[in-house]
Amino acid sequence: MSDSMEQILSDVQRCRGCALCEKRTNVVFGDGNPKAPIMLIGEAPGANEDAQGIPFVGKAGQLLDDMLELIDLDRTKLYITNICKCRPPENRDPLHVEQAACLGFLRRQTALIRPKIIVCLGRISAMQLIRPDFRISREHGQWFDKAGVRMMAIYHPAALLRDVSRRPDTFDDLKRLQAEIRAICPEVYAGA
């Protein structure tokens, strides 16, 4: 049977694969355009996301939208989701077991979207999707190729709220992202 976003969403909503399901208000499945060739992948929902069921809608999400606007992107041109679909308590990092329990859903989403570019938002996402020993301070903005997909990690927008000194580096990373989009999926900017 072929998979679909609706089927994955329904499976996530019924998931009891880790303890995070017990405290969730909503699962946070994904937002944006599932036909877009670019995926942005964060770590896990916070309080605002849990309340609304949409990724990156709090302060970090507002900053993310502002950052995307700098390179003429918005949520109609990409798909945003997280490694974990339920909120960890007190906004702690998701545990390895929680990430592992959720990863199958992300893999199914990725298989349907078939992105050309994946941007990992922060170190948790990069360690899960690029390399377990990924060092965000050294390797942000670099391109990696995995299974035919171009992958880059940038600082998590919440980290940029805490430490504004990282913003110029992130701006450079975004410019590199924009150049790559123009090179391998120019349709994203067509008509802009």
Q: Using a CB cutoff of 8 Å and minimum separation of 24, what contacts does 71-77 make?
A: 71/174, 71/175, 71/177, 71/178, 71/181, 72/178, 72/189, 72/192, 73/38, 73/181, 73/188, 75/31, 75/32, 75/33, 76/32, 76/33, 76/36, 77/32, 77/33, 77/36, 77/38, 77/188
- Least separation in angstroms between CB 120 and ligand URA: 10
Side-chain-facing half-sphere of 46: CA atoms under 13 Å? 11
- Least separation in angstroms between CB 183 and ligand URA: 27
Give the residue with the Cβ less far from ligand URA, 130 or 185: 130
Closest residue to ligand URA: CB criterion: 42
Element (H, E) at 12: helix 5-14
31 binds ligand URA (CB under 6 A): no
44 binds ligand URA (CB under 6 A): yes
Q: Report the 3 state secondary structure along 85-114.
A: CCCCHHHCCCCHHHHHHHHHHHHHHHHHHC
Number of residues located near ligand URA, criterion CB under 6 A:
14
Strand 79-82 relative to strand 31-32, pairing: antiparallel
Draw the binding track, 88-127, toward ligand URA (x: CB under 6 A; -: no contact).
---------------------------------x------
Give the residue with the Cβ less far from ligand URA, 88 or 185: 88
Of the candidate residues 17, 42, 94, 115, the single one contacting ligand URA (CB under 6 A): 42
Residues 127-166 that bind ligand URA (CB under 6 A): 158
Of the candidate residues 29, 38, 40, 49, the single one contacting ligand URA (CB under 6 A): 49
The residues that touch ligand URA, with contacts defined as CB under 6 A, are 28, 42-46, 49, 55-56, 60-61, 82, 121, 158
